[in-house]
Amino acid sequence: MRIDEIPKSLKRMMMMIVGSISVSVATAAPLTFGGVTFPDGAISFADAVVSFIPGSNTVAPFNDPTLALGTPDFVPGGSDPRGSLALGNGGALVVAFADNLLVDQSDTQGGLDLYIFEIGPDVQAFRLSISDDLVNWIDLGTVRGQPTGIDIGPFVNPGDTFRYVRLVDALSGGMEPPFAGADIDAIGAIGTRAVPEPGSAELVAAVLPILVTANLGRRRRAAATAPRDQGPFVRTADQAL
């Protein structure tokens, strides 16, 4: 896709992400959440939603996938319980790192590389996998914990990098509405490799596919639920997670 072919809405989103990356990289410092220290601070966390297929029994406002982005912000016992995404029974979420890549590391946190901050009174299990192209996925197994730390080392090759993380609720609870399934507050990489400097062509090239993929997913979901008078919609295989 040439730059003149990018829709204006995507251009605005791209500039917002690149701008936020500029601030994050300039001020990166270690941050600790739930006893877990992230050496690269806030840039360690997922930046964009690629797709979300809600499971059963999750309803607004708890089914907003953007609640799983950024640093952990759920406050136990707080007046606002909307700090996390409820996947729903069997729901599936795919997120992307824009300003960093997930890598295997052995220098800190006992070699654990990826942390999922699942919250709530019930510890819910979910299936976890990683990818760098949204086509080939590495299954890390079914995990649970608050938070859950995973060493990707046994599953990957030295030097491998990953941009995408997929979580699928394991149907361990059969929970009722409004926030069924695993409740995801944040997704962060201890093992992380920075992408090119903000403002570079390489960074724009890295961010653009994420936004295009997310935008296509939204358009397809909108078409799938459109009234009949808006035209036919054919579900294709590439829509499945």
DSSP, collapsed to helix, strand or coil, labels residue 116 as: strand
Q: What phi and psi values does residue 76 have, to the nearest 5 degrees?
A: -55, 130
Please check whether residue 80 lies inside any domain of the structure: no
Across all residues in the chain, what is the average pLDDT?
77
Q: Tell me if 233 is assigned to some domain.
A: no
CATH number, position 54: 2.60.120.260
On whether residue 8 sits in a domain, the answer given is yes
| pLDDT value for 73 | 87
* Stretch among 6-15, 203-212, 226-235 having the lowest mean pLDDT: 226-235
Strand partners of residue 95:
49, 165
pTM exceeding the 0.85 threshold for the entire prediction:
no
Higher-confidence position of 177 and 239: 177
Per-residue confidence band for 83, with pLDDT thresholds at 50, 70 and 90: confident
Question: By the 8 A CB rule, do 54 and 91 touch?
Answer: yes
DSSP assignment, residue 146? S
User: Is there a domain that residue 204 lies in?
Assistant: yes
Residue 17 falls inside a structural domain:
yes
Confidence at 65, pLDDT banded by 50, 70, 90: very high
What's the pLDDT tens digit per position in 116-137? 999 877 788 999 999 999 999 9
- Tally the domains of the chain: 1
Q: Per the domain annotation, does 57 fall within a domain?
A: yes
55: domain range?
3-75+90-226
pLDDT tens per residue across span 175-194: 677 888 889 999 999 998 88
> Is there a domain that residue 7 lies in?
yes
